[in-house]
Amino acid sequence: MSNKVRTRFAPSPTGFIHVGNIRTALFAWLLAKHENGQFILRIEDTDQKREVAGSIEHIINCLKILGLDYDEGPDVPGKYGPYIQSQRLNIYHRWAEVLINKGRAYSDTFTPEEINDLRQQSIKQHKPFLFRNYRPQTLSAWDKTKPLRFKSEPKDYHWHDEVMGDLSAGQEAIDDFVLIKSDGFPTYNFAHIVDDYEMKITHVLRGHEFIASVPNFLNLYEALSIERPYLATPPPVLNSAGNKKLSKRDGAKDLLEYINDGYLQSALINFIACLGWNDGSVQEIYSKNELIKAFGLNRVQKSGARFDEQRLLWMNGMHIRNLSIDQLAIQSDRFWPKEADKYDQSYKNKVLELVQERLKYLKELAELTRFFFVDLPINPDLINNNKKLKELGNDQLKQLLIIATTKLSECDFSLTSLTDSLNQLLIETNQPPAILFSLIRIASTQAPSSPPLAESLAVIGKDRTLSRLEQQINNL
């Protein structure tokens, strides 16, 4: 049999996926890839009340968009399916029988209200509430309409966590938790253990909130006589204030929003992976393959890291600049201004070359490039708000533009001749670039900013540049 590393991402279909959720998936995926193993997607939908329609599709979509491919999952058949827990109820009941037969599971005879009363009493007495203290002497048979509880055997545990190191807990951490709910569905606590075993998962990665439950899990593994997988519990991603776990409530964004804003898959992955993990070098920018090669659980941080959107923005810009023009063209295809539709790809590529280094996210493309595709209306504010230009009178501005128009009409608009012409204009008009170039730039783009003047004009072209200058002259 194979001893290949198998990891899984096991989300509940209760809403959208955000940076915090996806990091666990990414770590599990990176570990599997690093070890040349397999990555499995399993949907944990045992709480029907909390289920949000469309979540499964959303989760699958997010993984696809990030390129976190899985070897088995709801839509990828494998030999340990089905991969949706609600379709595995018979399996959990079979394992429940095993525990019942061993005398390690029993029917809960209390009503929820009775349990709640007992719990309140304990709280009043400042004592921890443990269900096992109220365990009936004689265990009654389970009729499947009541919760099935685990009969625990409390003891101290010391275990190793691949991220947190050596952990321990006393026997007060162990209790008779519910295995199967009265609706016949298993709890997470039971189902994940059965599934991880049946699916031959070797490394279980999950959020920090599960550390407190690990002693219970260890007790159950023993009762079931099954070997436990390696455990790894990365700390949570914190909100930007740093005081709590990143959550939807707290303003965490749907991962797809970042995609829609034009964050690259590679940047998102780089950023999320390095949120609480590093390889010890000073490298900041990683490709996906570099991450796979460098990743290891032993260098995941023990303390939570804050989600800093500014850093993500910087990193996205770095990844955009690392793209070839052809790659950038593919990525930015859906971000062009609508006016660009009638232009061919080679023209668009010329534009991309000019804006690549100033894009931080692809959604900016439309505003940054609109003037390359369409004549924008004259915007008087561009001159009025320019300190130096507004001090010159309209007549003088007009005069300068007329000289410029004449000069540029003799130019063939290659980059070199444009550069020459513009430099000669500086001499002939005896104006500094801050005035002359600003004026021509504003007149020919009607945009608050643009790539360098000569490069921009070369792309805009001679006819269009001259007509825009004329337009400006007529409006002064």
Assign residue 16 a region: left if phi > 0, alpha if psi is -120 to 50, beta otherwise? beta
Q: Cα(39)–Cα(313) distance, rounded to whole angstroms?
A: 29
The DSSP symbol for 131 reads: G
Q: Cα(359)–Cα(350) distance, rounded to whole angstroms?
A: 15
Query: Which amino acid is located at 373 in the chain?
Result: F
Beta-carbon-side half-sphere exposure of residue 304 (alpha carbons within 13 Å):
19
Q: Cα(130)–Cα(119) distance, rounded to whole angstroms?
A: 8
Active site residue 244: no
Residue pair 440/397 in contact (Cβ under 8 Å)? The answer is: no
Residue 108: both structure tokens together: 């809960």
CB of 301 to RNA, least distance (A): 4
Q: Cα(285)–Cα(315) distance, rounded to whole angstroms?
A: 7
Cβ closest to RNA, residue 92 vs residue 336: 92
Residue pair 302/164 in contact (Cβ under 8 Å)? The answer is: yes
Question: 270: closest CA among 202, 335, 328, 318?
Answer: 318
CB of 386 to RNA, least distance (A): 8
Cβ closest to RNA, residue 126 vs residue 342: 126
User: Which of 200, 248, 398, 407 is the catalytic position?
Assistant: 248
Cβ closest to RNA, residue 61 vs residue 278: 278
Cβ closest to RNA, residue 80 vs residue 314: 314
Cβ closest to RNA, residue 35 vs residue 250: 250
Residue pair 476/394 in contact (Cβ under 8 Å)? The answer is: yes
Cβ closest to RNA, residue 180 vs residue 345: 180
CB of 433 to RNA, least distance (A): 3
Cβ closest to RNA, residue 79 vs residue 124: 124
Q: Cα(42)–Cα(16) distance, rounded to whole angstroms?
A: 16
CB of 441 to RNA, least distance (A): 4
Query: Which amino acid is located at 301 in the chain?
Result: Q
Assign residue 262 a region: left if phi > 0, alpha if psi is -120 to 50, beta otherwise? left
CA angle 65, 264, 343 (to 5 degrees): 100
Assign residue 225 a region: left if phi > 0, alpha if psi is -120 to 50, beta otherwise? left
Check whether the bond before 82 is cis (ω within 30° of 0).
yes
Burial of 303 (0-12, 13-18, 19+ CB in 10 A): exposed
Q: Cα(363)–Cα(6) distance, rounded to whole angstroms?
A: 37
Query: Which amino acid is located at 92 in the chain?
Result: Y
Query: What are the angstrom distances between the C-alpha of 330 and each of 143, 205, 326, 352?
Result: 60, 34, 6, 11
Cβ closest to RNA, residue 38 vs residue 270: 270
**Which positions are catalytic?**
248
